[in-house]
Chains A and B, each alone.
Chain A
Amino acid sequence: MPRNARYNPLALVASAMALPALWLPTFVARPSRVLPIGELVGLWQAPLAPAGWALAVLWALIAVAALLPTARGRAPLLGLLTAVLTGLLTAGVGWGSLRLQGDDPMIRIGLAGGGWLMLASCGLVWLAVRAEAGRWLWLPALAGLLAWVSVPYGGLGMVAEYRISPESYHDALLQHLRLVAAALPLTLALGLPLGIAAYRWQAAEAPVLAVAGFLQTLPSVALYGLLLPLLSLQGKTWTLSGLGAACVLIPLAVWLLYRFGPVGRWLAVALAVSGTLALLPLLGVALHNLLEYARPWQDTLHWHQPLAEHGLRGLGVAPAVTVLTLYGLLPVVVQTHLGLRAVPAAAREAARGMGMRPMEVFRLVELPLALPYLVEGLRGSLLLLVGLASLAVLVNGGGLGYYLMRGVEQAVLDMVLLGAVSVAALALAVDALLRGLVQWLTPEGVRP
């Protein structure tokens, strides 16, 4: 939005969106956990009517504030109104569901269409405030937080679902984070060099970008299916000592092959790639275990027993982390490549001409100028991983996907919702955090 625009279009759209939300049913009260249908409750019905009036007035005020000239304090006013709205909605969801539930704990209260639309409109007003003047966002954030900590949410079906077993929710959440945290370093460790290689060597550019892109188009279920027999075989036949020997022999073979002309060079590249891919699942398992047990192996270390003893099997963490790592590659590779290409050719030429060594050119010129792109790649990759980790449950890898899958299987809507809302909240948090990081890391001289 241009500075000093005559009105705030986002806030107007949000008010318009909220209008039907005032009449659509806000809550749904289902007689029990597994029944899909229930009684719809609108804002103008008995216990909610005062809130309905308050919301109608608030939205009208927001629409008026959106039309005010900037000089008349549009930004602080919008911030203030959004704060009241956020507080009201946050508290209203808790109180409303508690009131509707009454004293029958079997009744499950959920949000209905109007309720969701109202929350979405509220989100849009946040964006409107950010476009107006981001510094006023602390007001609604504070209001939301205050309402959140001071209101009980026990009436909400989603929360009731959580309370059935908080331990297993925490386990699932932690496992979700562990999967992402185990895959991310591997994605970066593979993606950054690949992106640099795609930039440095003409011959590598097309194949690297094509493969990273192709991995994204593969359905993850197909990839899981493909990996199942392979990882199962690897787990049964390979041992740690054998792998250790391979870690020494393969680099040696690569180094030797590389010296034998163009054919040897291609063979060396092929060997290096397949060697890395073969090592990937075990590294994934090790990283995951490091986070779960504070050591890279689950039980005692067995040098001569199959890797399956250490958790490398066709199902479980190994395929989950492997698939996540491969899926996360594309944003990292593409952004690294893009970032390095965005470095002005004249700056690179000057750096060389002034006597920088290749590593100095990289460290002092290319890296700082490409850094915002790299973090952008990290953000894209992390968002993908947070979402995709929900599918790890398909191969028994755990994570928040558990709630999605079980919820659908058992037709428990609140359970699906618990999983979905958690994943969405995680993704939003990651996104906001890394956007800030990009801002902060962009060198001052190249900021728009």
Chain B
Amino acid sequence: MIRLEALSRHFDGHAAVEDVSLEISGGTLQVLIGPSGCGKSTLLRLINRLIAPTTGRVLLDGVDTATLAPEALRRRIGYVIQGTGLFPHLTVAENIAVVPRLLGWPKAARRQRVEALMELVRLEPALATRYPAALSGGQQQRVGIARALAADPALLLMDEPFSALDPVTRRQLQAALLDIQQRVRKTIVFVTHDMEEAVRLGDRIALMQDGRLVQNGPPDALLRHPVNAFAAAFVGEERALMRLARHSVADFMRTEPPFPLAAPAVSANLPARQALSRLLDGQPVLLVTGPSGEAVGQIALQDFAQE
């Protein structure tokens, strides 16, 4: 668990982060979002002390991080940045094993860990001996994530990790991150400026403006009840559509029989947006099927309007 207490950071009199207090409970994926220059990256770097706070404190499991040596602290926190920051002169395996090496793990343990992590982020074992330049952007960022998880830190900081990738690769990596999070349950602080990404990934979203925290809560709360005009404007006119990013067909379908067995079938865990798209294409109704293909419900346009 992390607690930020009245954190401020000033650069030459200008406040990059001003009086931010935030509590992130263990296993949560906390998104920090806001327009560029709002202080979200600075806030992230205050957590692992790449930047020292002007005032305020950061508590990690109740321990004030100012009392720890910054390097020792950072070795306990995973860190993923935009454009990966992989070391070009080291192979994939050596890149992943950097922190274990700094921590003095024996060679056999490092190799085992690298194998396990490459499996976790779904990288082929054959890539272990390749250099970063030989990988695609998506593969590189998978290595970046594996590297950050190498010493099994409880906390993972991610600074716009996917924003340099093309949309298709970005969606794949978002799915990969959710999959990894399901399996290893880390506390993740994720910085982005992309609202759709935030809604898709975040358990909680903290919106920032001019160094201050504007609103923090679950995505639905932010989308439905923005606290002020800025929040409403940032969430945007499409906020109703955006909520669909988190939902699947199962969340909207009607389960009362009779089912329209003649209508085209969709799976219950299809993203709600895709079902909506097909309905808007002119399908009056869709049959919803379960894991083994049996009919479990139906969905039509008016079902999205309820709730």
Contacts and interface: CB of A to CB of B under 8 A. Distances in A.
Contact of A346 (B73, B77, B84): B84
A368 B89 contact: yes
Main secondary structure of the interface of B (DSSP, over half): mixed
Interface string B68-103: 001111111101011111111111000000110010
A365 B86 CA distance: 10
What 7 A-B pairs are tightest by C-beta distance, nearest first?
A350-B85, A445-B131, A443-B89, A355-B74, A355-B75, A346-B85, A353-B79
Contacts of A365: 87
Interface in A400-448: 443-446
A357 interface: yes
Interface string B113-134: 0000000000000000001110
B72 to A, nearest CB: 7
A361 to B, nearest CB: 10
B88 A443 contact: yes
Interface of A: 344, 346-347, 349-357, 360, 364-365, 368-369, 443-446
Nearest to A446: B88
Contact of A351 (B48, B77, B87, B131): B87
Interface of B: 48, 50, 70-77, 79, 81-91, 98-99, 102, 131-133, 147-148, 157
A98 to B, nearest CB: 55
A128 B88 CA distance: 33
A442 to B, nearest CB: 9
A347 B147 CA distance: 13
- Name the residue in A349, A350, A443 with the highest tally of chain B Cβ atoms < 10 Å from its Cβ: A350
Contact of B131 (A344, A346, A364, A444): A444
- Name the residue in B71, B85, B133, B157 with the highest tally of chain A Cβ atoms < 10 Å from its Cβ: B85
Contacts of B75: 354-355
B133 A446 contact: yes
- Name the residue in A349, A351, A357 with the highest tally of chain B Cβ atoms < 10 Å from its Cβ: A349
Contacts of B133: 445-446
A419 B145 CA distance: 61
B58 to A, nearest CB: 15
A355 B85 contact: no
14 contacts: A347-B85, A347-B86, A353-B79, A354-B75, A354-B147, A355-B70, A355-B75, A356-B102, A357-B71, A369-B88, A445-B88, A445-B91, A445-B131, A446-B88
- Name the residue in A346, A354, A365, A369 with the highest tally of chain B Cβ atoms < 10 Å from its Cβ: A354
Given A445-B133, A446-B133, 13 more contacts: A344-B88, A346-B82, A350-B86, A352-B74, A353-B74, A353-B81, A354-B79, A354-B98, A356-B102, A369-B89, A445-B89, A445-B131, A446-B88
A443 B91 CA distance: 10
A347 B88 contact: yes
A24 B81 CA distance: 67
A445 B102 contact: no
Nearest to B87: A347
A354 B88 contact: no
Contacts of A357: 71
Contacts of A353: 48, 50, 74, 79, 81, 85, 157
A371 to B, nearest CB: 9
A354 B74 contact: yes
B50 A352 contact: yes
Contacts of A355: 70-77, 99, 102
Nearest to A354: B99
A377 B91 CA distance: 27
Contacts of B102: 354-356, 360
A340 to B, nearest CB: 14
A412 to B, nearest CB: 53
